[in-house]
Amino acid sequence: AVRGGRAKMAAGGAADAQARFGHSVKGLLTEKVTSCGTDVIALTKQVLKGSRSAELLGQAARNMVMQEDAILHSEDSLRKMAIITTHLQYQ
């Protein structure tokens, strides 16, 4: 009878240890899933920030081209004014 009681206790203890191990594994998996989710969110934010940076760089390049055109036009106008000034000085 003592043996049967010990066997039941051992089986109960093993089942208890197995349940604790299962909960421990579930806890670790939950932690890992949460960690991976956080990493994916951070990666997504970084990718979006990178695409936004590329968009801003493109906009800056377009603005520079527009400024360059304005500068070239101003330079041309100044050259023409210099010629007109020279002609007026002769008169």
Tell me which DSSP letter residue 1 carries: -
SS3 of residue 59 by DSSP = helix
pLDDT tens figures, 28-44: 888 888 888 889 988 88
pLDDT tens figures, 16-26: 777 777 778 78
Specify whether 12 is located in the same domain as 34: yes
Specify whether 40 is located in the same domain as 57: no
* Total count of domains within the chain: 2
The domain in which residue 67 lies consists of 51-90
Cα Rg, the chain, nearest whole Å: 39
Specify whether 5 is located in the same domain as 39: yes
C-alpha torsion sign, points 18, 23, 29, 32:
negative
Task: Check: pTM over 0.75? Answer yes or no.
Answer: no
C-alpha torsion sign, points 34, 38, 44, 47:
negative
**SS3 of 36-51:** HHHHHHHHHHHHHHHH
Specify whether 37 is located in the same domain as 1: yes
